[in-house]
Chains A and B, each alone.
Chain A
Amino acid sequence: MSLTLKNVSRVVDGETWIDDVNLTLEPGSFNVLLGRTLSGKTTLMRLMAGLDRPTKGQIMMNGVDVTGVPVRERNISMVYQQFINYPNMTVYDNIASPLRLAKMSHAEIDRRVRETAEMLRIDIFLDRLPLQLSGGQQQRTAMARALVKDSQIILFDEPLVNLDYKLREELRQELRALFKARNCIAVYATTEPNEALALGGNTAVLHEGKLLQFGPTAEVYHRPKDIITAEMFSEPPINVVPGRVSETEVTFDESVHFQLNSDLRPLKPGNYQFGVRASHIGLVPHADDDLELPVRVDLAEISGSETFLHVHNPHFDLVLHLSGVHEYHVDQQIKVYFPTHKLYAFDEGGQLVHAPAGLGGR
């Protein structure tokens, strides 16, 4: 069962919400839709579900056009960001409702409901009403209802956003395990790059209604197609600094330049945008060819055991993602070390022309 979107667009009140998306999701795959708020994740999911109709384009299930088929005749499930359950039914009836409508036998319904509830560890709450449960348990109920039937597509629209982080990590792990055994297409929307990395599978990066890149999560992360994709898929966003490549050197400004290394040698002379991840810039050199860069501190944002250091030199701003607590005062002069072998190079149009060879980690 593969799901294919062909040139799908959706225009609402003259505003383009989804712009010409082409996407094929394979059976048994776990797919993450990554994008910021208003990037069109929910809209795309609603199109996949059949809750909305695309303005243009086709949606195919297994090669059959299902564009106009109403949602109740498609075999899908959906879990929303809000905890959506039927408040007037018990947890048991909530989970059983899709099976009852499918006219399954009582014994089979009972077996499946109990099995799914046990899997999601809500089996002791089966007789309660959803509103008597905690948020996490309510969301588990919604997930159980989505998982209990054999849907071809299961859509998760930021299901863990309204939960506290402990529960979120726990549920995320379980979710991944739950899908291992299934042969359905799972689609999971999230705004957080780290969540996409933790979930693995495939990632589709969305921005302003456009599909920027789709592929295995690690590959999209390590070889982003262009600057926007790279910015979307890193937290904090990747640093982008303009530079010039000559026959022998890479020059950022008159004083800051380094010899072309083996990595960057294939680049033709010209203007480029260089991307470097916030976590790759260090306060001490990690390699011999690291470039020393004198900068001034704008802000040291300390969050727990991590520090986000915002610095600038006369030509560009940088963000450093440091582990540990580092306190600096504003305008302090410091030196940071720029990893010349971990640079992404984008051409003037923003397309990736070079990615660091080694998988550089975060």
Chain B
Amino acid sequence: MTVQMTSASTARPVVEKSDQHSSQPLAPQAPVVSHAEIKAKRAIWRGRIGMTIYLILLLMPIYWLLNMSFKTNTEILSGLSFFPQNFTLENYAKIFGDPTWYMGYVNSIIYVSMNMVISLLVALPAAYAFSRYKFVGDKHMFFWLLSNRMAPPAVFLLPFFQLYSSVGLFDTHIAVALAHCLFNVPLAVWILEGFMSGVPREIDETAYIDGYSFPKFFVRIFIPLIRSGIGVTAFFCFMFSWVELLLARTLTSVDAKPIGAIMTRTVSASGMDWGLLAAAGILTIIPGILVVYFVRNHVAKGFALGRV
């Protein structure tokens, strides 16, 4: 700090000097530059410090979860400690060793993937129709689709439960995947329509003129053009389906039980298994991080296009 102060104060008279003798082209220029440089450096450091504080605050809960997952229950309950005193992987071992635990992840991944595939398959043609054709009530229908998302999932709990029980879909992966489609398909149509409308209609026509049939054009030319949109849509479908707990828990009992529901098992008569719960939490975050990592560029593009 003192070094900066002195260099700044020596720099100042030089600036004034050079202003007074501006007619002299040989006035020393170097200290003037260094004064500006010091200012710029300070700004950079202020930014760095601010960012570090922000990131620490942001990552605190996640760090705490990670911290807990490597501790024993006794240590967690004994008091404040920033690092695990007795580092243990026992919590993770328990999850990977017990099918009732790890099948929760498998179930979640299955129905989330199913949901992503179904949502995209349904939304692609729908979005194409909305972006390219005019038909009676197209605008109303487009808005109505989105208004589906305004209802809380709990509203649909009872009808879904009753319907699936009566047709024998209860406790299957497809049941949860279909239920989530109610929320994901409208969103997918909405996002994809934005991306598709960004592709000029003349490209479609040129393709027909060249002799492409519609399916060939759609797969070979159109889909590659809206790759980013598909990435973004898949990401949003994943996000909703992966974190949604209410429908997923109610529509399953044993075979398709999602990880979120299984995590509630740690509450037992003997108290809570803190360490195990923390390890399960960390493992739940990981797929999300992976998905975000893979679609990060597409999502940025999607935000730039303004529809997300």
Contacts and interface: CB of A to CB of B under 8 A. Distances in A.
B296 to A, nearest CB: 21
A88 B210 contact: no
Contacts of B205: 51, 71, 78
B202 interface: yes
Interface stretch (A94-102, A132-140, A194-202, A222-230): A94-102
B209 A76 contact: yes
Contacts of A72: 208-213
B146 interface: no
Contacts of B209: 49, 51, 71-72, 76-78
Given A71-B205, A82-B202, A101 B225 contact: no
A179 interface: no
Contacts of B212: 72, 97, 101
A88 B226 CA distance: 10
B166 to A, nearest CB: 46
A86 B203 contact: yes
Contacts of A145: 206, 210
Nearest to A102: B211
Contact of B208 (A71, A80, A86, A102): A71
B224 interface: yes
Nearest to A51: B205
Interface in B174-223: 200, 202-203, 205-213, 221
A87 B208 contact: no
A270 B141 CA distance: 64
Interface in A10-66: 49, 51
A49 B205 CA distance: 10
B210 to A, nearest CB: 4
Interface residues of A, number: 20
A68 to B, nearest CB: 15
A76 to B, nearest CB: 6
B225 to A, nearest CB: 6
A88 B225 contact: yes
B225 A84 contact: no
A356 to B, nearest CB: 43
A183 B253 CA distance: 73
B5 to A, nearest CB: 52
Given A72-B211, A72-B212, A101-B212, A78 B225 contact: no
A78 B206 CA distance: 7
A101 B202 contact: no
Contact of B224 (A88, A97, A101): A88
Listed from nearest, the 9 A-B pairs whose CB atoms lie closest are A101-B211, A98-B210, A88-B224, A84-B202, A71-B208, A72-B208, A80-B202, A72-B211, A84-B206
A324 interface: no
25 contacts: A49-B209, A51-B205, A70-B208, A71-B205, A71-B209, A72-B209, A72-B212, A77-B209, A78-B209, A80-B202, A82-B200, A82-B202, A84-B200, A84-B202, A84-B203, A86-B206, A86-B221, A87-B225, A97-B210, A97-B212, A98-B210, A101-B210, A101-B212, A102-B211, A142-B206
A80 B202 CA distance: 8
Contacts of B203: 84, 86
Interface string B224-250: 110000000000000000000000000
Q: Which of A51, A70, A72, A145 has the most CB of B within 10 A?
A: A72
B202 A88 contact: no
A86 B212 CA distance: 13
A84 B221 CA distance: 13
Contacts of A51: 205, 208-209
Given A71-B209, A72-B211, A145-B210, 14 more contacts: A51-B205, A72-B209, A72-B212, A72-B213, A77-B209, A80-B206, A82-B200, A82-B202, A84-B200, A84-B203, A84-B206, A88-B221, A97-B212, A101-B211
A73 to B, nearest CB: 9
A74 B213 CA distance: 13
A102 B209 CA distance: 12
Contacts of A98: 210-211
A288 B67 CA distance: 105
B265 to A, nearest CB: 49
Contacts of B210: 72, 97-98, 101, 145
Interface in B61-100: none
Interface in A111-148: 142, 145
Nearest to B203: A84
A3 to B, nearest CB: 15
Contacts of A80: 202, 206
Q: Which of B203, B210, B225 has the most CB of A within 10 A?
A: B210
A49 B203 CA distance: 15
A345 to B, nearest CB: 44
B125 to A, nearest CB: 19
B231 to A, nearest CB: 15
Nearest to A80: B202
Q: Which of A49, A51, A76 has the most CB of B within 10 A?
A: A51
A150 to B, nearest CB: 13
Nearest to B221: A86
Q: Which of A76, A84, A87, A102 has the most CB of B within 10 A?
A: A84
Contacts of B206: 78, 80, 84, 86, 142, 145
A155 B184 CA distance: 43
B205 to A, nearest CB: 6
A231 B152 CA distance: 64
A125 B59 CA distance: 49
B226 to A, nearest CB: 10
A145 B221 CA distance: 15
A288 to B, nearest CB: 57
A51 B202 CA distance: 10
Q: Which of A71, A86, A102 has the most CB of B within 10 A?
A: A86
B247 to A, nearest CB: 38
